[in-house]
Structure 1
Amino acid sequence: MRIAVSGHRGLPPQTASMIDSAIRAELAGHAPAVTGLSCLADGADQIFARAVLDLGGNVEVVIPAEQYRDGLPEEALREYDALLSQATQVHRLAFVESTSESHMEASRRMLDEADELIAVWDGQPARGYGGTADVVTAAKECGIRVRVIWPDGARRD
């Protein structure tokens, strides 16, 4: 099973913990025969990738742009580097700048390789092009199953 992730960044600690538990519950039925596809952004992407690895699965990373890491928050870099070092495959897109367009293209690349999408999503419209709502729409247009995770009481910054 190949599962892509898209989800919110800027998650408060309590929400991150709830989402981690929900993702692990969703993945448990597939582990360890699961490959997770992630861009490793802070928030949902890193939570998902860590859960896949902890459950014995593999992670493939899609890096949207050469300067992608530079745009991540300082507190997310250690986990980004750790997860990237454990990836079984890394796909680097040809973009230099980390923009909403490169992020959406990375999401499309993940969807091209995925059997389903886990969307850590509050159900609201995207705050900018390439946000989770856009990825959910793209997945549905491709006929990819979407599982939304947003536990009761979850919130985002």
Structure 2
Amino acid sequence: MDLTDETVPLVRAPLRELLAEYGDDLTGVSCIAAGADSLFAEEVTAMGGLVVVWDGTPPSGKGGGTADTVEQARQAGLPVDVVWPTGAARHG
């Protein structure tokens, strides 16, 4: 996991709260990568379902990353909920 140990509960709590608003009407898609994606997948699975855990880093230019996905969703007019609480950090 690329999130620091201290960041895991910081991200998990607001993610759980945000996803709870969707109740049973939730579909989740995740690449299940180490870190924020795996937390997202665990919480969506627990809820029974687009929300991003993203630190706001701009697109890398390689394509396919979270920043690219957020940019495309916003350009398409889709609402994007971003979870990245104050104090959250990645390793490295």
TM-score, normalised relative to structure 1: 0.52
State how far apart, in whole Å, the 1-side matches of 2:2 and 2:60 are. 13
- The Cα of 1:11 is off from its aligned counterpart by 0.8
Match of residue 120 from structure 1 = 53
1:2-17 pair list within 5 angstroms: 10-17=2-9
- The Cα of 1:39 is off from its aligned counterpart by 1.4
State how far apart, in whole Å, the 2-side matches of 1:119 and 1:52 are. 12
Larger radius of gyration: 1
State how far apart, in whole Å, the 2-side matches of 1:144 and 1:14 are. 31
2:11–2:83 Cα contact (<8 Å) kept: yes
Match of residue 153 from structure 1 = 87
1:134 and 2:68 aligned: yes
1:60-139 pair list within 5 angstroms: 117-127=50-60, 129=62, 130-139=64-73
State how far apart, in whole Å, the 2-side matches of 1:29 and 1:123 are. 23
Match of residue 22 from structure 2 = 30
- The Cα of 1:133 is off from its aligned counterpart by 1.4
Residue identity in the other structure for 1:54: A
SS at match of 2:29: strand
State how far apart, in whole Å, the 1-side matches of 2:86 and 2:18 are. 16
Residue identity in the other structure for 1:124: T
TM-score, normalised relative to structure 2: 0.83
2:59–2:65 Cα contact (<8 Å) kept: yes
Residue identity in the other structure for 2:79: R
State how far apart, in whole Å, the 2-side matches of 1:119 and 1:137 are. 12
Give the RMSD, CA atoms, in angstroms. 1.8
- Sequence identity of aligned pairs in percent? 43
Number of positions where the alignment pairs a residue of Structure 1 with one of Structure 2: 90
Residue identity in the other structure for 2:29: L
> As a proportion of its length, which structure holds more strand?
1
